[in-house]
Chains A and B, each alone.
Chain A
Amino acid sequence: MASSQVELSADGGRVAVQVEDKFVRIRNVKVSVFAVDSREKLLEFCFDYCYWSVDPADPHYASQEEVFQDLGVSVLSGASEGYNVCLFAYGQTGSGKTYTMMGTPDSIGLTPRICQVCLRICVHVFSSLCSHFSFLEIYNERVRDLLRRGEQKKRASLRVREHPDKGPYVQDLSQHVVSDCKQAMDLLEEGIANRITAATHNHDASSRSHAIFTIQYTQAILENNLPSETVSKINLVDLAGSERADPHYCRDRLTEGSNINKSLVTLGIVISALAQNSQMSSSCQSINSMASEGDGSTVGSHSSSLSGGGGGGGGGGRRHCFIPYRDSVLTWLLKDSLGGNSKTIMIATVSPSANSYNETLSTLRYAAHARNIVNKPRVNEDANVRLIRELREEIDRLKSMLLSFEMRNPSPSLSDERDGNLSDIVLQNELKVMQMATVIFDTSSQSLVIFS
């Protein structure tokens, strides 16, 4: 269910990117300092949607409204069907993630638009409905409540936990019941104002943190003519800039491309990925591993031998291991959104500027890769060889019974059938058959041989 979109925004200078229909093309117009690399390259990527939001005068200009009509609406419809929905924005600092997710006062983004519609539905369609909003920020693996007012604000970091009944949650995160759009917008603005933003040379208000805005809303439905409730969760995630280069920052696996981690502090991540890749044979591991983490034991330790029957000698067969790498807070919190019953939309934002060629290319590659994010937990299964053998025996018995029955009784009048042995097999239970059978314990093979 993962899908990807690419959106562009302007930052002046020479343009290296074109968008046409579902395709993004990127041209290496910047002559490299090295002769060999100066050949012009044109690379093409295909996504579910591509938008060009550089110049409002451009006939192909995609407005916030247009993006909302495609993506926002599918978020809302997913949620109303009872899915957990998750929408990510990913991209280089300054390429417009926050613009897309939050927008500006003049050009509001996806999150406020989704809130508005959500509340309109709640208020007008189901009068008894309620929505809970929460807004948090993850900065250097610490969780801050963006909507917490007053004295508790100084608390260091909120803890993420799992409850057997309530699922993954952030302990002490404030939940806000909202009944109209105005309230929702106020909360949103309050949260945004509380976010940590940083000034770098690239971009004066780049987001240095992940922000997750969660709308949890309860729908009343009729189940077997009884009123019942379903709870849906919409997670809107504004990821930190994709090029973050702080060596002390533990890269989240979600935002990890083919980068090299500089500091030996991150050796653990590398070894984890190795162990993880080695137990999964899938080709898109780096991403899969991230998704599978979401379910802890699932893909990690329990992919089933789908073909049935345990593999042969010690060399074969899957071995399952434990990767002692704590999920990043982000992955942990989104595990129920990334797991089985959820829809995920990813927006990659890139800058069309030739100066950002390398970063843009890497973002596009990542986004193309991200289409494969799927979380498919498996059920572990015993090889049921014994059962199959027993069943084959029963089938043989039934068949021979059928055969002898047909030979004796071409026209099936069942009344006088008195073939004790065979009819007993048919009428008695398996167990009784066995009980009458002579049982010989074959010591050499330690298996049971049954003569009937």
Chain B
Amino acid sequence: MASLSSDEWRAICDKFTNAQNLTDVESRKDPDNDPFRSKYKARELLREIYCSLKNFEAGDGEEDSGGESGDQRPKEPPVDGQREDVFGQGFSGDSPAGLRAAKLGAVEYYLGVNHVDTEELSAGQEHLMNCMKLLERCRVSSENVSLFIHVRNQLGILWAGRDETETAQGFLETAESIYQRYMKEDGSPPTDMTEYFTTEEKLLTHQERTKRFELAYTHTMYYLAQVYKNLGETERAATYCHSTLQRQLQLNQFSPMEWALNAATLSQYYITKGRYMEGRHCLAAATVISGLAGEVPSEAAAQESETECERREQLRQKRAEIARCWIKYGLNLLQDAKKLLEDNIGELDSDRQEELKRARRREEEEEEKGRKSALLFGSEDTFDSIASLEEKVPCLLPLDFTEARAVFLVGQTYVTQAKEYFQMDGYVTDHIEILQDHSSMFRGLAFFEEDLERRCKMHKRRVDMLEPVCNDLNSQYYLMIRRQMMFELAETYNEMMDLKLTLANRQADTESLDNHTIKKFNSLCSASAKYFQMFLDSLCSPEGKSPEHLEEEVLRPALVARFRVARLHSQLISSVPTMQLDNLNRSLENYKYVVEYCDAHPEAVAAVETELELSREMAGLLPLKINRLKARMAENN
């Protein structure tokens, strides 16, 4: 810096500080109708700094070396990654030429970011590439490694925005490997780019340097996560998101509620992949970290102040959302276990159960191993609380009623929590989804319940929670949700009917069924048919006509509903022949509908193969039954 007086240098530093302040602080206050005012001002300052540095360079004795490397500058495509070794060649970072290149590069970098931020992408790209070219002349060292990473992060963003994901990937992966190699080979806290333009007394502490450098790399990880996501490599994307979260926690760079919600969301990814241990870990971490956000302000406090009100709303909402993630955890665990243990008629397969219980020991060992190798969340003070919360919740598929009940109870606790915030008035769809989940959890638990009376009661609970809501909703806005509930209610009533039947069969050895049981059976049967019919009616035109063509998304449900209505009508018990005849005719009508619809729409066959085959048979056989009944009736008259 021989030819630059200290006054001149101080002026440059001031300009830089000013530009930073304009970009980061002032720009937030820019009016809506002139949103880039401060950034445009910052741009001017950066340009001035650039000119001063250039002038200084021109008047400098070491210019020749700079010129030389200008000639060797390779013409390269904007793809990073296959470049020759950035650690081995070029000026060393602390040489005067190296430092000058880094400084100029940093100004180009800031100009690039400035242009991108103000929606002038092509100009931004040019500046960023200028920065790349300047860095090409340098070896990676603690003086410039931060800039090496930052500029690639920015180019990654820029190219991803143009749908050139592979190009972005190249830049970001190079940034990643530069970081890793630097940490391995050097690892000393690197100079931050802002330090290029600060006077001696304002240099950063080692701690601050590390913090900023690590944050830049956290961003690289985050951008890579997005690139992998856009490339469809979800597994890899999830790992990078996980690492991003972990780094935020370790480096203490996070806001508790936001972090917690993100971890809870990541749990949902793991759950859909059936990875319950990882899912549980994320959820436990979410719950613990969300606790760091403090108490929910009381209603009274919220009424006093706008900020408290906002805070109350935020905390309640986010905690309720984390609760809903836990609900899905419990629900999926139950459902997966059910799927695994079901025999061919949907009952618990005890051979399978024994077999799985034997295999359990092995699984437990694997869990232990998995835990050790997994990417674990936690800072010193949260690690233990996360682990102890994890211990309270099972993560293996439940194999018997006791285990299933433990999972169910965890889920149910969170149902109560979630409903406190997501009330019907104001959050209709959210509230109902929670109810549906609760109902599905009961269904999962009922599968494990051996006592049929109690099993029946669990299904009754499902009906009680869904029925009133289903009947109160306005179809114009909530048609889809109502349809789902109608279907579920129909199936639940049918399930109860089956259970009553099995119970009755067990008890009634020889005696005929008592009136009460028949009545109960019939009412369940009619209720089931009623909801299937309601579902079918919801598909009709305003004039009440059945649709000629069933849309793909309702095709199977509609035909299955017909099929099941047919079946239910043939199951109704009546001692009055005319009513029997009516029921059988209704049944026949619905079987015939399935057959005729599929004959007219051959593309529907694949969706309902079994149901169609059975309907065809029944449509052929039922007339016989009907004729016999008619004959009997004629005979009796």
Interface residues in chain A, defined as those with a beta carbon under 8 Å from any beta carbon in chain B = 33-37, 82, 93, 139, 161-168, 196-202, 208, 221, 223-224, 230-231, 243-247, 257-262, 264-265, 267-268, 270-275, 277-279, 295-298, 301-302, 304, 306-308, 310-317, 319-326, 336, 339-341, 355, 358-359, 361-362, 365, 376-389, 391-392, 395, 398-399, 402, 414-415, 423, 426-427, 429-432, 434-435, 437, 439, 441, 444-448
Contact = CB atoms under 8 A, between A and B. Distances in A.
Given A223-B542, A381-B491, A426-B625, 8 more contacts: A197-B32, A201-B120, A258-B161, A379-B487, A387-B494, A395-B621, A427-B632, A446-B350
A103 to B, nearest CB: 21
B50 interface: no
Given A162-B426, A198-B34, A447-B343, A274 B162 contact: no
Interface footprint category on B: 35 or more
Contacts of A311: 339
Contact of A260 (B118, B168, B425, B632): B168
B188 to A, nearest CB: 25
A322 B327 contact: yes
21 contacts: A33-B125, A35-B75, A201-B119, A202-B120, A230-B542, A260-B161, A260-B223, A265-B258, A270-B225, A270-B237, A306-B556, A312-B339, A317-B336, A319-B332, A322-B324, A377-B480, A377-B553, A378-B557, A379-B484, A415-B635, A435-B508
A25 B551 CA distance: 34
B77 A339 contact: no
Nearest to B525: A431
Most interface-central of A168, A320, A321, A435 (chain B CB within 10 A): A321
A243 B161 CA distance: 9
B340 interface: yes
Given A257-B163, A365-B163, A381-B556, A322 B325 contact: yes
A260 to B, nearest CB: 4
A339 B446 CA distance: 33
Contact of A381 (B218, B557, B624): B557
B350 A358 contact: no
B429 interface: yes
Contact of B346 (A358, A380, A385): A385
Interface string B224-240: 01110110001001100
B600 to A, nearest CB: 20
Contacts of B465: none
B624 A257 contact: no
Contacts of A302: 436, 484
A427 B576 CA distance: 12
Contact of B570 (A164, A247, A377, A430): A430
A167 B429 contact: no
B165 A379 contact: no
Interface in B569-593: 570-574, 580
B222 A444 contact: no
Interface in B93-124: 116-122
Given A37-B77, A362-B162, A164 B258 contact: no
B624 A324 contact: no
B525 to A, nearest CB: 10
A224 B75 CA distance: 77
A382 B572 CA distance: 21
A293 to B, nearest CB: 10
Nearest to B487: A379
B268 interface: yes
Given A279-B272, A319-B274, A380 B129 contact: no
Contact of A427 (B222, B428, B629): B629
B271 A321 contact: yes
B553 A322 contact: no
Contacts of B227: 260
B513 A431 contact: yes
Interface stretch (B51-59, B291-299, B497-505): B497-505
A389 B345 contact: yes
A273 B229 contact: yes
B479 A270 contact: no
